[in-house]
Structure 1
Amino acid sequence: MLTSAIGVLRKRLLNLHTDHRRIAKGALIVSLFVFLGKGAGAFKEMAIAQQYGVGSVVDAYQLALVLVTWLPLTLTNELSILLVPLFVRMRENKEELGEFVSEMETACLGLGIVLTGLLLLAWPFLAHVVAGNLSEQTRQMCFQLLLGLAVVGILSLTICISSARLQASGKHLNTLLESVPALVLLCCVLVLPTQGSLVPLMLGTSLGYVVQTALLHFSARSADSVRLRLRFSFRSPHWRSVFHSTSMLVFGGVFATLIPPLDQYFLAHVGDGAISTFGYAYRVLALLLGMGALAISRAILPILAEMLTAKDHVRARDTTFKWSLVMAAIGAIGAVIFWFLAPWIITLLFQRGAFTAEDSVAVTQLFRVGLVQLPFAFGALVILQLLVSEARYRMLAAIAVAIFVVKIVANIVLAPRYGAQGVVLATGVMAAANFACYLMCLRAPRRDGE
């Protein structure tokens, strides 16, 4: 009977449509790269936990990293999925692609400098609003870290463009290269003397982003044979459509990227140690989210773009719906498995040096609560790829506003009662609402003007 069942399963797998096989193959490759990248991140967190423990230094570092990246992420989260379909359509015309990418790289580099400069100028206000409940020493360290991490904010946008070029070429090396900042930071924390010093954290993070940017640039040039040069102009005919699409996506993206600072605000009001405890739990959770949701979304996006370019909307929507349900089921199974494994995982990763058994218990509790978002995040990111490729920007913006309101209300209700666990649980509530909205949008017919 077992042999017969295996034979039936093998036959079904062989009879799968070539699109499903391509998606599955791409997802497996991306999952492997994500595992390697997030694994490097886990080792980095282990080193930070051993050297710094849970306290003001890690609070300041994680808050500074969130602040320096959240403005660029307002754009990169949207551009990363907007540019891939565009580059797929342009890849036959190298001259046109080269002109547009050169202009975009130059514009994004300048924008990164402006946004980072505005962040530093606004620090006195941010220190009062976001970090008001933290100690004066923690706030001072946070500003020092912001200065040291400025290059991260400047380079974030150009990293996004190179990654999109690789995805459009059917390459997934950008996912593997996301591990570079973690590896460089790991080396700096292990090699340089710490003793509460901020230098290993600043130097390792900044140098890691510089190396990642260089590697992505040369990898993208090898993949699409496009050489870039600085162009201070907007002559490409694609700018108009990009501005229109980006304006709608950024409107919704602003609300999405406000969520990390929002969480930092509520965590800061919990007191010292809450931000770093949340950060350790989230890093492990990010490994699971990346291996599932990120893997399938990056694997399916170029294929959906090809379907829509061929005007085969029915096949694209059917493929998306099936894979969203598959990934939601995988996320639910994974959440159950890792709930039981959580104490062992957290202890293995972090419990050494300044990181105590009590810290492990606190991080484990947050990690378990965070697992509730896995199935919803897995399914939603699949649908998001199609909705962006179909240019349903108004609908996405409306959903982004709605779930942001859900997140605020959930934080207000849950954080005072449950502390850091309430902040994490509120994210699960938001993820469930987001997935429900995306499913309704997917099953509804597209109307003009969306």
Structure 2
Amino acid sequence: MPAIRIALPIPLRSLLARGAGSAMVSGFLLVAMLTVVGKIVAFAKDAVVAAKLGTADELDAFMLVFGFFSFAATVLAGGLPESFVPAYAELRERRGLRRAERLGVQCAAWHFAALLVCGIALAFAAPLVIAWTTQGFTPQKQALAVKLMRGLLPFLLCFGLAQHLSAWLRAGKSFLLAASAPMLVPFGIVTALLLAGDQVNAWTLVSGTVWGAVGHVTVLIIAITRRLPRSLRWWRCALQHWEPGLRVVLHNALPFLLGGVAFGSAVVIDQTMAAWLTAGSVAVLGYSDKLCAIVLAVTAGPASDVLFPHFAELVARRDWNGLRKRLFASAGLIVSAALPMTLILCLFAPWIVSTLFERGAFGPQDTQRVAEVLRFAAFQIPFYILGTVAARVAVSLQASRLMLLISFSALVLNITLNWLLMRHLGVAGIALSTVIVHCLCAFATCALCLVVIRRKETA
């Protein structure tokens, strides 16, 4: 019997032929496996939280505040770290590793200063922020949210700095610690929940989150410090002499920061608008997002971490054809892997939610609410992955202003669709809005990348 041959696109066939022996594919597999372990720890935490608090008001307030801080830290991580990685790759390619490491030290100092200023501002503005974003909360629930926001300020500093240090490690293609250290945060929460016993409340989650974030950033600081020169002269030079590449990083950071505010604010906007609906809606949306995050964590997350330094190197070498091929091959492989998991989430939503969360305070009615939202939210996964991979190419190409336009358009579209769809579908309408926004942004970002690459080829 003749062998059956399947014709694959050349870039995809080439990538598969290299297999796990290539640095990119082996790096992806490593990060994906570590992310799975991290998600197991995170879901152990979520299961305990669901059993103890269900969709109670305390959890509603905590998830809203935690989502806001995660957004703030991620936005700040989308400024300097995003612009840092391409500059780091180019400086290492042209001036050597020591100059690139000096740039890393100076960028880390600037990033921590930005986080500190942001944290102080949020501490003073907490009552105003909570009053504006939680119009559906009772006064008691709003007062609790203000206290939780101030209690989570150390998390903002630690988690935000950890994002930059992780980007620095990944820029040097060191993926092991950057992928494994984040699981210290859910591990810290699980530990706090176990120590609290039956006395679990929102402050248990705050203490576990803060101590987990402290452990996370401490491990990364130790890892970064060990790879840097131990010479006092080098450190004095790194802290006193302005690295010219820092000007480029700071110049490009603002557009990425603004773009992160626009695009990354989707979670905060969704939670804020969910707070206008029936009680528990924020928690329901949060549980649905956590389930979608399983697939995204083993696809979009590792792909973004591993591919970014490779994209940056291709741009530094001006290999435009190789960059285009890698974009197509990577996006095709990852989206193909994510589609079956998306369908599983959609078809088996009630069973998945019931198995993972239905115990204690989380009852059958909560399962039904979360499953209804999850069936809509699951369809964002392939578009989110495609958009993430394309965005990494755009960042490597320093196409910050065009990405900024796409991000602000997504912000306006997200708010508009939320408002229209939630009136008829409730929380599920917010999930459907997210799907539509990710779909349009993914195709717009891919088109942007191809246009910029074509322009650079003909320049």
| TM-score where L is the length of structure 2 | 0.90
Which residue is equivalent to 2:403?
A: 396
Deviation at 1:414, TM superposition (A): 0.5
CA 1:77–1:37: 2 relative to 1, 3 Å? farther
Query: More displaced, 416-425 or 325-334?
Result: 325-334
Q: Which amino acid aligns with 1:27?
A: F
- For 2:15 and 2:206, the matched residues in 1 are separated by 50
Q: RMSD of aligned C-alpha atoms? A: 2.7
Distance 1:223 1:103 in 2: 16
Residue in structure 1 matched with residue 360 of structure 2 by the alignment: 353
* 1:440 matched to 2:444: no
1:77 matched to 2:78? The reply is yes
Aligned CA distance change for structure 1 residues 379 and 426 (closer, same or farther; 3 Å)? same
Contact 1:410 1:426 in 2 (8 A): yes
**Counterparts of 2:429 and 2:15, CA distance in 1:** 46
Residues 17-65 of structure 1: CA deviation (Å, up to 9, x unaligned): 5899433222211111111112211111101111111110101111111
CA distance in 1, matches of 2:23, 2:100: 25
Partner of residue 268 from structure 2, selected from 228, 241, 261: 261
Shift in CA distance, 321/225, structure 1 to aligned 2, threshold 3 Å: farther
Structure 2 unaligned segments of length 5 or more: list them. Answer: none
Pick the aligned partner of 2:317 from 310, 326, 333: 310
**Other-structure match for 2:89:** 88
Q: For the structure 1 residues 13 and 316, does the alpha-carbon distance in structure 2 shift closer, same or farther, using more than 3 Å as the test? A: closer
Once residues 251 and 233 of structure 1 are traced to their aligned partners in structure 2, the CA distance between those partners, rounded to angstroms, is 29
Amino acid at match of 2:186: A
Cα distance in 2 for residues equivalent to 1:67 and 1:226: 38
Q: Look up the SS of the partner of 2:279 in the other structure.
A: coil
Do the aligned partners of 2:84 and 2:107 also contact (CA within 8 Å) in 1? Answer: no
Task: Find the aligned partners of 2:67 and 2:239 in 1 and give their Cα distance.
Answer: 30
What residue is the counterpart of 2:428 in the other structure?
A: 421
Structure 1 position 129 matched with structure 2 position 137: no
The one-letter amino acid paired with 1:130 is: T
Greater displacement, 17-26 / 299-308 = 17-26
Assess if the C-alpha contact under 8 Å between 1:74 and 1:254 holds in 2.
Answer: yes
C-alpha displacement at 1:368, in angstroms? 1.7
Residue type of the alignment partner of 1:62: M
> Residues 372 and 225 of structure 1: is their aligned pair in 2 closer, same or farther, counting only changes over 3 Å?
farther
Cα offset, 1:435, TM superposition: 1.0
1:153 paired with 2:160, answer no
Task: Return the offset for 1:217.
Answer: 1.4
What SS is found at the alignment partner of 1:178? helix
Post-superposition offset of 1:15: 7.6
- Aligned residue identity for 1:189: L
Deviation at 1:431, TM superposition (A): 0.4
**1:428 to partner: Cα distance:** 0.3
CA contact (8 A) 2:52 2:360 kept: yes
Instruction: Indicate the SS of the match to 2:287.
Output: helix
2-structure distance, mates of 1:376, 1:33: 23
- Paired position in structure 1 for 2:205: 201
Letter in 2 for 1:190: L
Match of 2:327 in 1: 320
CA distance in 1, matches of 2:383, 2:74: 21
Is 1:162 matched up with 2:165? yes
Q: Distance in 1 between matches of 2:124 and 2:447?
A: 42
Native 8 Å contact 1:112 1:156 kept in 2 = no
Letter in 1 for 2:145: C
Q: How does 1:13-412 map to 2 (within 5 A)?
A: 16=17, 21-91=22-92, 93-172=96-175, 173-195=177-199, 197-223=201-227, 235-412=242-419
- Larger mean CA deviation between 146-155 and 12-21 belongs to 12-21
Distance 1:61 1:309 in 2: 43
- Corresponding letter in the other structure for 1:150: L
User: Which segment is superposed worse, 248-257 or 49-58?
Assistant: 248-257
CA contact (8 A) 1:68 1:119 kept: no
| Amino acid in the other structure paired with 2:216 | Q
Deviations 1:361-384 (A, max 9, x none): 111121221111011111111111
Stretches of structure 1 lacking an aligned partner (at least 5 in a row): none
Instruction: State how far apart, in whole Å, the 2-side matches of 1:303 and 1:411 are.
Output: 36
Q: Provide Cα deviations, 1:158-180, integer angstroms capped at 9, x if missing partner.
A: 21221012112212121111111
The number of residue pairs the alignment matches comes to 446
Sort the Cα spacing of 1:15 and 1:26 in 2 relative to 1 into closer, same or farther, 3 A.
Answer: closer
Cα distance change, pair 103–13 in 1 and its aligned pair in 2 (3 A): closer
Cα distance, 1:94 vs. partner? Answer: 4.4
The 3-state SS of whatever aligns with 2:17 is coil
Structure 1 contact 103–234 (Cα < 8 Å) conserved:
no
**Range with greater deviation from structure 2 (19-28 or 207-216):** 19-28
Deviation at 1:82, TM superposition (A): 2.9
Query: What amino acid does structure 2 have at the position aligned with 1:239?
Result: L
8 Å CA contact 2:192, 2:207 repeated in 1:
yes
CA contact (8 A) 1:163 1:216 kept: yes
Per-residue Cα deviation, 1:196-252 (whole angstroms, up to 9, x for no partner): 533311110000000000111122334566789798768221221011211121222
User: Cα deviations across residues 376-434 of structure 1 (Å, max 9, x unaligned)?
Assistant: 11111111111111111111111111111221111111011111111111100100011
Residue aligned with 1:122, SS:
helix
Change in Cα spacing, 1:83 to 1:226, as seen in structure 2 (3 Å) is farther
Contact 1:19–1:303 (CA under 8 A) maintained in structure 2: no
What is the CA deviation profile of residues 91-123 of structure 1, one whole-angstrom value per residue up to 9, with x for unaligned ones? 473442343333222222222121112112112
- Bigger Cα displacement from structure 2, 422-431 vs 150-159: 150-159
CA contact (8 A) 1:165 1:224 kept: no
Deviates more, 1:182-191 or 1:107-116: 107-116
